[in-house]
Every structure is written in C-alpha cells, then in structure tokens.
Amino acid sequence: MALSAGTRLEQYEVLSHIGSGGMGEVYRAHDSKLERDVAIKVLPATFARDPEPVARFKREAKLLASLNHPNIAAIYDLEESGGIHFLVMELVEGETLAERVAAGPLPVREVLTISQQVADGLEHAHEKNINHRDLKPANVKLTPEGKVKVLDFGLAKAFVPEGQKPLDSEASTLSNLPTKEGRVLGTPAYMSPEQAQGKTVDKRTDIWSFGCLLYELLTGKRTFPGENATQTIAAVLRAEPDWQMLPAQTPERVREILERCLEKGLSRRRRDIGDVRVELEKELHGTPKTEPVAVVAPRMAWRHTVLWSAASLALLAMATAAVWYVRPTPSQPVMHLNMNVAPADRLTALE
C-alpha cells in the first residue's frame, strides 16, 4: 500500500517516497517527537496478516538495533499504526552504489576505500553473529561526505520462516508468496551457491556477496550475469567470473581477495571478513605484499645461523692448526761431556 505525503503514522509524518524493494516501501518521514527526519520502511501486507512472522520480526529487530557502527544504517524502532507495520531507521542521504556504478566502473582507489568500509561494517555485525544475507550495491549508500552506510542489515533473516524452503528461482529479493509459504530471500546475482540452493548459510555467504559487490565496482558489470533469475542462479552455481574484465591496474592483492571470496566451495572461501578488511587496508596504505616464502623465513634464518656457526668453527680450527705448524720446535736438553785428554808424550810413555 502506497502512502502519500502528509500521511501520519504515530508521531511520523510521511514527507516523500524514497524507493521500493522486496522488503517494502521506503519513505522519508519527520519524527515530531525528536524533531528529526527518519526513513520508514512499510512492511508488505502479507507480512502483517500472520502474527507469527510479526513476532519473529520483532525479535530480530531488537537484535539488529544492537548494531552500532558508523558504516551500518541504524534501526531505531518497529512500530504499528492502523494495521500498518513499519520500521523506523536512520535516514541516509546520498546515492546507492547501484546508482554510482550505473555510470561505469569506479577508480580502483575509490573502490578500495568503499569496500574497506563495507568490510568494516560486516565485521562488526559478524562479531555479533548477525549476517546481512542480501548484500548488494543497492543496499549500500555513499553519503556526500564519502561515508559508506550498509542498509537493510540482517532484515532478510527476519522474513525467513522456520524450516525455510529452497529458492523460488524467479524471486528477486522477497517472495510474494504468503509468509508461511515463504522461500529463501536474497537477490540471485549476489547469492552464494549455498544460499541459492536453500542450504543453511553463515557469514561466508556475506563474504561471497562482498566479492560480487567488489567485482562489480571494479568492472561495472555483474559478476554472474543472466537474462533472468534462472540463468543467473545457474551461472552462480556453475560458471566462473570473467577475470579478464578486471582493469589492468587492479592490484594483485585485490585479485587474490576476489578469487578467495568467490570460491564456490565453502572450505576454500575466505572465512573471516576481518582478514579481508586488513588486506584492503594494507593495499590502501601501500604496505608491500608479503611473498609466500616469508612463511618459512624464521626456519631459513635458523639454518643460516647454523651454517655460519659451523663455518666459523672450521676456520678457527684451521687457524689453530696453522699456528701450531709454524711454531718453532722446542730444543732438546743439551748434555755437556767434559773429557781431559793427556798430552801425546804422556800417552807414549804409558805404552
């Protein structure tokens, strides 16, 4: 149900329509109590017909409200007015990354600055065991000051019924089926393989989506293109990204980040977005990339020490031997024999 300007929902007066999404319509509104502008997201009518998902969503909203990070748009409250359920959220000015990248790929330096902030926000949420589940350029805003704000953090989980079913391949962000018959939520182009198959997901599904976002910012193209959701999901499950699309000036470290984030196998994919953030910060600050051989450097240093010590001992031994060789041999004791010889004439007389 669309709301017109001037509509009041409790203390909130609707000012204008901001956008539409699978999780509801978003409006700019004014909070008359706190005298500030906010964003309100009116939840789908199918959501409000069943008290069970409403109760579940309230529990999730409380958890999401605990997120307090400069790169995450805050959730203030969950309200109900005249049968309309809506979220009250931080109003973030600026354009989404989807709008920004529509004009073409971003400069590598700008991509690094943006993606580092996205990773920082994800890391904060993951530390609280909260996953986004629908990370994509349209859910990230860039303020006029250059600050990144991740939107709709964790809302996908709030919509997923217990015992979720496999993905409806034609779904975009939110299934239009009644809540009890809901399907896996997400956007096919940014879903991880396990998410697309309706499997249990963890923080590594966000790392996959982050890789898709990073690739798109660098190339201006979707990581896994398709004419429809079915083709896109097939590409996610079986195809590899076109690495030739990456600009020539893409740093080697960033290429490696992308390859590891977009590993289809969970056991080979990056496990912690915090590690990705650190690598991005190193690239931003110009820290040289450590070569793999650095891992064995301590052992090599030990071996060099042993070799030098052995060589030194051998030289010392040779020097000692040489000294003993050229040293004069001590004189043997001299025996003095005194003999008195008689004169010749006396010897003749004795005969």
142 three-state secondary structure: strand
35 Cβ contact list (under 8 Å, min separation 6): none
Dihedral sign computed on CA atoms, order 123, 125, 126, 128: positive
Let me know: does 198 contact 186? Beta carbons within 8 Å.
no
Query: How many residues in the chain?
Result: 351
Closest CA to 186 of 139, 127, 235, 248: 139
Radius of gyration (Cα) for the chain, nearest Å? 38
Q: Which residues of 173-188 are buried (b: 16+ CB within 10 A; e: fewer)?
A: bbbeeebeebbbbbbb
From 31, 120, 134, 206, the catalytic residue:
134
134 classed as catalytic: yes
Query: In the chain, count of helices (H) and strands (E)?
Result: 12, 9
261 Cβ contact list (under 8 Å, min separation 6): 207, 208, 210, 211, 214, 269, 270, 276
With residue 232 as reference, give the H or E element that holds it: helix 229-238
Angle at 115 between CA 114 and CA 116, to 5 degrees: 90
Cα(243)–Cα(150) distance, rounded to whole angstroms? 26
Cα(15)–Cα(28) distance, rounded to whole angstroms? 5
Strand order in the sheet with 148-150: 95-96, 140-142, 148-150
Let me know: does 122 contact 210? Beta carbons within 8 Å.
yes
21 three-state secondary structure: strand
Which are the catalytic amino acids? 134
